[in-house]
């Protein structure tokens, strides 16, 4: 944790140095892990002649809207570092929420399946319609999931708020 503090300070200085940003967009990056949700964000592509950052449609795994960062032709080393830190932050956020959402969906399915089996019900009714639980039963799952992931969410929130602009490259389970 302490090793990340100098990067956060550097990012804060860079964020303060620039209020906004020749035409090129930064390429999307996405190193995928086998035990993680896919990190490939939408294939949205802004116009080639655009001279601004573009925000794409929500990613289907993370539900975050990816940013395509504009690269000025005469980008200074300081501007490049800021853009790269912003991209790194976006990649980290995309991966964190893709993994978190995947975990949520898997655990939710397990919970529903176990509760239905305990009631002696099948996942699908005879009509083919998927069986569901009521709101009170699902509230048990949501409470359980939030309690189980409290540390992970606290870590995420602390890292986002400490930097203001938020840069970290690790999470508690990575």
pLDDT digits (tens, 9 = 90+) for 92-111: 899 999 999 999 999 999 99
| Per-residue pLDDT at 125 exceeds 70 | yes
CA distance 72 to 83: 10
Q: Indicate the pTM of the whole model.
A: 0.65
Contact by Cβ (8 Å): 19, 83: no
pLDDT at 4 over 90: no
Lowest-confidence region among 13-17, 68-72, 95-99, 126-130: 13-17
pLDDT band at 164 (very low <50, low <70, confident <90, very high): low
What pLDDT band is residue 159 in, cutting at 50, 70 and 90?
Answer: confident
Over residues 6-27, mean pLDDT:
46
Determine the average pLDDT of the residues in 132-151.
93
Q: What is the distance between the alpha carbons of residues 88 and 169, in angstroms, rounded to a whole number?
A: 8
Asked if residues 66 and 97 have their Cβ atoms less than 8 Å apart, the reply is no
Strongest mean pLDDT among 1-10, 50-59, 146-155 = 146-155
Contact 131, 125 (CB under 8 A): yes
Q: For the chain, what are the domain ranges?
A: 54-163
| Residue pair 68/44 in contact by the 8 Å Cβ criterion | yes
């Amino acid at each position: 944790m302490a090793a990340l503090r100098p990067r956060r300070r550097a990012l804060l200085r860079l964020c303060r140095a620039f209020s906004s940003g020749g035409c090129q967009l930064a390429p999307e990056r996405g190193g995928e892990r086998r035990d993680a949700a896919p990190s490939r964000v939408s294939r949205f592509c802004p116009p080639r002649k655009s001279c601004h950052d573009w925000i794409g449609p929500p990613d289907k795994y993370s539900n975050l809207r990816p940013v395509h960062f504009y690269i000025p032709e005469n980008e200074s080393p300081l501007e490049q570092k800021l853009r790269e830190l912003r991209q790194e932050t976006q990649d980290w956020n995309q991966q964190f929420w893709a993994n978190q959402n995947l975990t949520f969906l898997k655990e939710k399915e397990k919970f529903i399946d176990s509760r239905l089996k305990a009631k002696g019900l099948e996942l699908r009714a005879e009509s083919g319609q998927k069986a569901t639980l009521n709101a009170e039963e699902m509230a048990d799952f949501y409470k359980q999931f939030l309690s189980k992931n409290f540390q992970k969410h606290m870590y995420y929130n602390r890292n986002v708020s400490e930097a203001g602009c938020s840069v970290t490259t690790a999470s508690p389970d990575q």
